Chains A and B, each alone.
Chain A
Amino acid sequence: MSQVTHASEDVGRDGSRREAALYVRRTLRAGQRIAHDGDVVVLGDVHAGAEIRAAGDVLVFGQLRGVVHAGADGGDGAMVCAWRLQPLQLRIGHVIARPPDAYEDVPDAPEIARVEHGQVVIERAARPEDGRMARG
């Protein structure tokens, strides 16, 4: 990407401009809500009952148990990544997903959720063989 990025701006993967990433340096508890016109990075947990709405990607360096909407301005190309991805509900762009009703073990590893063919798919965030981030 050859474009110059202003300090207060960021460039999305599709080349669109938006606000710089918002860093949330605490745990979000029930009833707390973050809305941002860009990417959101949480250095903490997102508890059940908390809500994040981001125009871009959402990265959670902790447990994600709340509701997250990435690509909230309609960007199906956005992704959600968390150390432990176990949200109550996940929205990416126009797609809404929720975990299966039957209890499923959440893998003890970071995961990425993104949209493929109109469906939310979840995969390990890192390839164990080389430790690199998985690219869809």
Chain B
Amino acid sequence: MGEVIVITSGKGGVGKTTTTANLGVALAQLGLKTCLVDADIGLRNLDVVLGLENRIVYDLVDVVEGFCRLRQALIRDKRLEGLSLLPAAQTKDKTSVTPEQMRGVTEELRAEFDYVLVDSPAGIEQGFKNAIAGADHALIVATPEVASVRDADRIIGLLEAAEIPPARLIVNRLRPGMVRKGDMMSVDDIVDILAIDLIGVVPEDEQIVVTTNRGEPAALSQGSRAGEAYRAVARRIRGEEVPFAEFGEPAGLFGRLRRMFGQA
């Protein structure tokens, strides 16, 4: 039985979809059968980022409404064996799916895949509730900005209320130079505020813009710093101990102590 992981953030534009696409690629590269689910109904993007837009026939809403079987809606990525996408509908909205139906879909997927990654929409409303419905774990994406961290904190609280085990944090778009000058929050600052475990630090990388627009996630090819960081996250998801690159100082002893206290 595979694991269902929701990728969420609260705030929009912090890189949930890019993260989902790259983690999907990186997990598939490790030989793990991975299915990506776009839960952002009405604003689907994941297919575009993956370059699979022109192959969509059926989508998530078609599946839950019974117009097709789940297998028919899945798109296999030709570049990578083991990577599949369940696209969102573009012409419907978040109310076309219920959390119950979403749970049904993820249950069916986990029987066939090692990992099911659900790309959550921004916000805390119906779309978010659908996205987390079937999840075993959550990955929180936050950028080093106060608003993003505040929203992440809100989301972590909602995940706790939904009894989804402690979320793990991906700090995205970090600019180590700015951190050194004291112009940007450091990874330590963010971990101290959110008091959750860190699973990845992805540096700002212009390659992401290029590869995302081309529909070829950065993790597909070597030589991108962000792609490298996503590959490290994928290995940590699988349970490997991967040291953090020099820009990603892990939480110090203080952060750990606080965390133990916070969950008492």
Contact = CB atoms under 8 A, between A and B. Distances in A.
A49 B153 contact: yes
Given A27-B195, A30-B151, A44 B261 contact: yes
A48 B258 contact: no
Contacts of B195: 27, 45
A43 B153 contact: no
A29 B264 contact: no
Contacts, number: 45
B262 interface: yes
A26 interface: yes
B261 A62 contact: yes
B150 A27 contact: no
Interface string A59-70: 000110000000
A91 interface: no
A31 interface: yes
B130 to A, nearest CB: 19
B31 interface: no
A53 interface: no
A45 B153 contact: no
A107 B75 CA distance: 57
A32 interface: yes
B154 A29 contact: yes
| Interface of B (DSSP majority class) | helix
A29 B157 contact: yes
Interface in A42-82: 43-45, 47-49, 62-63
A45 B154 contact: no
A44 B261 CA distance: 6
Interface string B241-262: 0000000000000000010011
A44 B263 CA distance: 7
A31 B193 CA distance: 15
A29 B196 CA distance: 12
Given A44-B264, A47-B193, A29 B153 contact: yes
A62 B264 CA distance: 11
Contact of B156 (A29, A44, A62, A63): A29
A127 interface: no
Given A27-B195, A45-B195, A47-B193, A62 B262 contact: yes
Contacts of B160: 26, 29
Given A32-B157, A47-B153, 18 more contacts: A26-B160, A26-B263, A26-B264, A27-B195, A27-B262, A27-B263, A29-B154, A30-B157, A31-B153, A31-B154, A44-B263, A45-B258, A47-B193, A48-B153, A48-B193, A49-B153, A62-B258, A63-B258
29 contacts: A26-B262, A26-B263, A26-B264, A27-B195, A28-B157, A29-B153, A29-B154, A29-B156, A29-B157, A30-B150, A30-B153, A30-B154, A31-B153, A31-B154, A31-B157, A32-B157, A43-B264, A44-B261, A44-B264, A45-B258, A45-B261, A47-B153, A47-B193, A48-B150, A48-B153, A49-B150, A49-B153, A62-B258, A62-B262
Interface of B: 150-151, 153-154, 156-158, 160, 193, 195, 258, 261-264
Interface of A: 25-32, 43-45, 47-49, 62-63
* A-B pairs, 5 with minimum CB distance: A29-B157, A30-B153, A27-B262, A30-B154, A31-B154
